[in-house]
């Protein structure tokens, strides 16, 4: 048995025992150091291989951090005791891990090689071998969105409007809500999207509120994996999980969120898990103070390493009043229920009407009791699409002719969105009175891109200068 195998066995045995025996032996005032060492040794796997000192130290660190009733001071005290009676010490921080020599290849050889495509799972959100993230403010709907996306992958149904490339088994691990609250959220999504027992066995869920996947080494201050991470990896292997969602990121570790080096190592562990097990790993992340813009890659709180490590980052932001005007949403209650998801690998979000929108909806669970006659109404999400304001062909042509005709005093309409006296959007609104200013401007912008309208120079008779103006384009509606 190698030191690594011994450590894994020790972790498994201690996890099963709940570490209570170790704690009892450490706190027994009647035991001498020799007696304490002998009794604790009886709890460890046999035989103990040579060179087990560092593995033993890691085992004790992990065990003490898995006992939630201990304070940091008590853990440090007990670890000092264990180091003394077992004559062990932590491994040096600069210890170099041996690595295999990398396989160096000639770039031109790939021309004759069949390289398999990336294994996308849902749209461009989840991909095997990569980590992904969803960043948004608290209570905005991150968990609700990820739950529905998890159900989409596990049920092979296009619940979010995103293509399901491959049905897969999903593990959803919640580190914030207890088991009952997570069950309420899951049930709300299943009921709202009419997902039946056909999906049984494909989406597995659990709630971990007293443990973490990473703790902090008391000597180096760097993150180290816990029994929880060991369990997660083993469960993924044994149950053929292809997508694991960890919600939220801040609760899976004990590292200071501003520690860039520590967060980088945690993300590296997750990325390694994704690559070695060929799975997709996703985390939900909170924003810093002051919500960022849609698609803002820097809106996540804490160290920037969390953003830099992930390949597939998305943001979730609410619909603003300006966005509502562009999308033709006049109902304030509806506006407050809408959130947009944007790629965080670009600095500017796509045009609002083309954005992926979700609507937050309440779902009655039907769990009324005599004491709570109304039961629970729990939030989930559904895909929402901005109204497609199609313009009748004859009306479109009338608008184009009116714009091409100009203002009547020799001046022409301006292509600039912020134009005042030569603004063209009022012409659109004259023919489409129900449209907002933003919608009218968006139509002009679209027509310019499609050559329905074009921008060109003309001589302004009032200023006697050359100015930009709108003209009829080369494409005619209909």
Structure-token match 């080096």, residue found = 261
Q: Which of 427, 422, 426 is nearest to 410 (CA)?
A: 422
Q: In this structure, are 294 and 325 located in the same domain?
A: yes
Q: Could you give the angle at the alpha carbon of 148 between the alpha carbons of 237 and 177, nearest 5°?
A: 75
> Which pLDDT score, from 0 to 100, does residue 20 have?
66
Q: Which CATH number goes with the domain that contains 201? A: 3.40.50.300
Q: In this structure, are 286 and 366 located in the same domain?
A: yes
> Which pLDDT score, from 0 to 100, does residue 290 have?
60
Looking at the domain assignment, is residue 41 inside a domain?
A: yes
pTM (global) more than 0.85 = no
Q: In this structure, are 465 and 346 located in the same domain?
A: no
Looking at the domain assignment, is residue 374 inside a domain?
A: yes
Looking at the domain assignment, is residue 109 inside a domain?
A: no
Q: In this structure, are 163 and 264 located in the same domain?
A: yes
Looking at the domain assignment, is residue 101 inside a domain?
A: no
Q: In this structure, are 181 and 317 located in the same domain?
A: yes
Count of domains observed in the chain: 3
Q: In this structure, are 46 and 163 located in the same domain?
A: no
Q: In this structure, are 64 and 142 located in the same domain?
A: no
Q: In this structure, are 401 and 344 located in the same domain?
A: no
Structure-token match 């949403």, residue found = 329
> Which pLDDT score, from 0 to 100, does residue 310 have?
64
Looking at the domain assignment, is residue 405 inside a domain?
A: yes
10-residue block means of pLDDT along the chain (478 residues)?
A: 61 57 80 85 74 69 70 78 80 52 89 94 94 90 96 95 94 95 97 92 94 83 88 94 95 87 90 95 80 73 59 89 84 95 61 74 96 96 81 88 91 92 92 85 91 93 91 88
Q: In this structure, are 257 and 377 located in the same domain?
A: yes
Q: Could you give the angle at the alpha carbon of 130 between the alpha carbons of 222 and 282, nearest 5°?
A: 70
Looking at the domain assignment, is residue 332 inside a domain?
A: yes
Q: Which of 384, 411, 430 is the last residue of a domain?
A: 384
Q: In this structure, are 401 and 380 located in the same domain?
A: no
Where does residue 440 rank: exposed (0-12), middle (13-18), buried (19+ CB within 10 A)? buried
Q: In this structure, are 291 and 349 located in the same domain?
A: yes
Domain, as residue range, for 150: 120-384
Looking at the domain assignment, is residue 209 inside a domain?
A: yes
Q: Which of 356, 384, 412 is the last residue of a domain?
A: 384
Q: In this structure, are 371 and 398 located in the same domain?
A: no
152/146 Cα distance (integer angstroms): 10
Strands 170-174 and 243-247: parallel
Looking at the domain assignment, is residue 107 inside a domain?
A: no
> Which pLDDT score, from 0 to 100, does residue 346 have?
40
Q: Which of 384, 413, 447 is the last residue of a domain?
A: 384
């Amino acid at each position: 048995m190698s030191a690594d195998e011994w450590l894994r066995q020790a972790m498994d045995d201690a996890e099963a025992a709940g570490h209570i025996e170790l704690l009892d032996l450490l706190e027994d005032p009647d035991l001498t150091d020799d007696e304490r060492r002998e009794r604790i040794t009886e709890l460890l796997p046999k035989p103990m291989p040579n060179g087990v000192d560092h593995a033993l130290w890691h085992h004790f660190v992990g065990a003490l951090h898995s006992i939630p009733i201990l304070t940091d001071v008590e853990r440090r005290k007990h670890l000092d005791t264990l180091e003394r009676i077992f004559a062990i010490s932590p491994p040096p921080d600069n210890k170099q891990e041996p690595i295999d020599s990398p396989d160096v290849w000639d770039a031109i050889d790939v021309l004759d090689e069949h390289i398999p495509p990336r294994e996308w799972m849902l749209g461009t959100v989840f991909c095997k071998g990569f980590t992904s993230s969803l960043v948004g403010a608290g209570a905005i709907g991150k968990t609700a969105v990820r739950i529905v996306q998890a159900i989409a992958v596990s049920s092979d149904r296009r619940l979010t409007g995103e293509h399901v490339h491959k049905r897969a088994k999903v593990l959803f691990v919640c580190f914030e809500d207890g088991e009952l609250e997570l069950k309420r959220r899951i049930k709300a999504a299943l009921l709202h999207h009419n997902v039946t027992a056909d999906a049984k066995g494909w989406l597995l869920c659990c709630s971990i509120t007293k443990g973490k996947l990473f703790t902090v080494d008391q000597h180096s201050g760097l993150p180290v994996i816990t029994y929880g991470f060991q369990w997660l990896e083993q469960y993924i292997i044994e149950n053929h999980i292809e997508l694991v969602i960890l919600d939220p990121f801040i609760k899976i570790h004990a590292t200071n969120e501003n520690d860039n080096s520590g967060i980088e190592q945690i993300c590296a562990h997750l990325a390694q898990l994704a690559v070695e097990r060929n799975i997709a790993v996703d985390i939900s992340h909170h924003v810093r103070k002051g919500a960022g813009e849609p698609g803002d890659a820097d809106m996540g709180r804490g160290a920037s390493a969390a953003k830099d490590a992930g390949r597939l980052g998305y943001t979730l932001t609410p619909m603003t009043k300006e966005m509502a005007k562009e999308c033709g949403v006049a109902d304030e209650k509806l506006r407050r229920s809408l959130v947009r998801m944007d790629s965080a690998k670009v600095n500017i979000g796509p045009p609002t009407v083309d954005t992926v929108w979700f609507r937050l909806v309440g779902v009655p669970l039907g769990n009324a009791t005599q004491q709570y006659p109304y039961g629970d109404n729990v939030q989930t999400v559904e895909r929402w699409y901005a109204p497609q304001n199609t313009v009748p062909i004859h009306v479109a042509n009338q608008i184009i002719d009116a714009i091409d005709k100009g203002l009547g005093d020799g001046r022409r309409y301006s292509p600039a969105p912020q134009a005042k006296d030569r603004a063209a959007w009022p012409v659109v609104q004259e023919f489409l009175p129900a449209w907002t200013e933003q919608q009218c401007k968006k139509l002009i912008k679209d027509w310019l891109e499609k050559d329905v309208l074009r921008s060109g120079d003309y001589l302004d008779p009032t200023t006697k200068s050359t100015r930009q103006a709108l003209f009829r384009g080369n494409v005619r509606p209909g």
